[in-house]
Structure 1
């Protein structure tokens, strides 16, 4: 059995690599990276893109001179060609995303928009239903405000912000909370609502509708890519070490 890696006194053979990756839960990530490399293989970068990416990388690493760069490469056992492949990988991946999903983003945006919209809302968390009702009646009657009540009664982090949360994407909130805010009108006070172990008193303050700009397109392409990648990995998911080895050798 050939030794491919030695860590102090431990020698790791080629046959042991895949079981070790599985034991440390690193095999799925390895499969993801191999799948990505296969997907972006047809895509290249222009000399200008390569130069810009390399310069940005060396600036980030604070390598100002050629001697410093060569010493850095030597210390990590890497070549300039390997660095070039590394620093242009993100660019090639973005080209793959654009080419693969450029015609799907608009339709996907229409599906995702309700949960991409951001909201600002006031909330008070409490585990006591009686206190929740009392807070609600005070707010409803205008006797006190969220600004006054949240720091005193709320157990959530909003207590430090006078009860204000956001702006935050609806899709990042608890599903029940998101649904309540989606059907609310700005300024509408909602009665205490049980969510998990909490009672929430809510008031929607503002809705910030998302626009299909370049930043949103990038986010949606990334979501589509992530969904695709996880599906690819799931199809290769090994059920035992022997199968893991077979999958690994196949991808190689």
Structure 2
């Protein structure tokens, strides 16, 4: 085991009457569950280090950063810096960091978006549907026939009999992505045609009568593209943080 250097005992923080040394900071971060957050930011810094910005991009990034944080006056800027323990030069660094990260994501995962979209599309498609749920199987069957055979409005029956929050909207739910409903219900909706009413189906503790109202296929537009790039980045970042945690936080051998 290596002998701690004198630098390990140099005071780095003074909190009230407590003085923390450099050797104490990492164990404290780990004890408070804050070490993964620090590692995440360091991984990001290392990843975006090669990204360069033009002066025009830096100026634009700073303007966007200030607007996003509602910093529009010199007084607000000073308060923003004071609350975070930052110097004025840090504003530009933070603004550049955000823009560099966006560029890094695009350069690294932008070419994967089309194939990733095809993998995710079945979960990104959205549906608008009507639902009646009850824990009474007999009642669910009766309500199904009242809609299917007697032509009674599903919305009216949902308001009267449905036992979930959808009763307040006449049974109408959505549009929501197909990843949102219970998996059993999502499978039904995925193979439904608009207007198709399903007989009572067991979903968890409920018996549901469901009708697809509208199917809205996902499109690879700009917001979806950015969302998928962010998903790919988040997955990568979580893997990097986990690897670094395993490397740096191994139990000490007695």
Give the number of the structure whose alpha-carbon radius of gyration is greater.
2
Query: In structure 2, what is the Cα distance between the partners aligned to 1:19 and 1:198?
Result: 48
The aligned counterpart of 1:248 is none
User: Which ranges of structure 2 fall in alignment gaps of 5 or more residues?
Assistant: 1-8
Query: In structure 2, what is the Cα distance between the partners aligned to 1:149 and 1:19?
Result: 60
Query: How big is the shift at 1:203?
Result: 0.7
Residue in structure 2 matching 1:80, options 82, 88, 91: 88
1:111-155 Cα offsets, whole Å, 9 max, x none, are 111111111011122222222222222122234222101122222
Query: In structure 1, what is the Cα distance between the partners aligned to 2:249 and 2:115?
Result: 42
Seen in structure 2, the aligned counterparts of structure 1 residues 72 and 101 have a Cα distance that, compared at 3 Å, is closer
2:173 counterpart of 1:165: yes
2:79 counterpart of 1:64: no
Query: How big is the shift at 1:75?
Result: 5.7
The aligned counterpart of 2:4 is none
The aligned counterpart of 2:250 is 243
1:127–1:198 Cα contact (<8 Å) kept: yes
Query: In structure 2, what is the Cα distance between the partners aligned to 1:158 and 1:201?
Result: 12
Seen in structure 2, the aligned counterparts of structure 1 residues 244 and 81 have a Cα distance that, compared at 3 Å, is farther
Query: How big is the shift at 1:83?
Result: 1.3
1:176–1:195 Cα contact (<8 Å) kept: yes
2:205 counterpart of 1:197: yes
Query: In structure 2, what is the Cα distance between the partners aligned to 1:214 and 1:148?
Result: 39
2:83 counterpart of 1:90: no
The aligned counterpart of 1:218 is 226
The aligned counterpart of 1:38 is 46
Residue in structure 1 matching 2:31, options 13, 18, 23: 23
Query: In structure 2, what is the Cα distance between the partners aligned to 1:92 and 1:141?
Result: 61
Query: In structure 1, what is the Cα distance between the partners aligned to 2:224 and 2:142?
Result: 42
The SS at the match of 2:139 is helix
The SS at the match of 1:171 is coil
Question: Larger RCO: Structure 1 or Structure 2 (Cα < 8 Å, ≥ 6 residues apart)?
Answer: 1
User: Which ranges of structure 1 fall in alignment gaps of 5 or more residues?
Assistant: 246-252
1:79-108 Cα offsets, whole Å, 9 max, x none, are 222111112222111101111112211111
2:140 counterpart of 1:147: no
Query: In structure 1, what is the Cα distance between the partners aligned to 2:38 and 2:226?
Result: 24
Q: CA RMSD in A?
A: 2.4
Between 123-132 and 16-25, the greater mean CA deviation after superposition: 16-25
TM-score (norm 2): 0.85
Query: How big is the shift at 1:231?
Result: 1.6
Query: How big is the shift at 1:19?
Result: 3.0
2:99 counterpart of 1:101: no
Residue in structure 1 matching 2:186, options 160, 168, 178: 178
1:238–1:244 Cα contact (<8 Å) kept: no
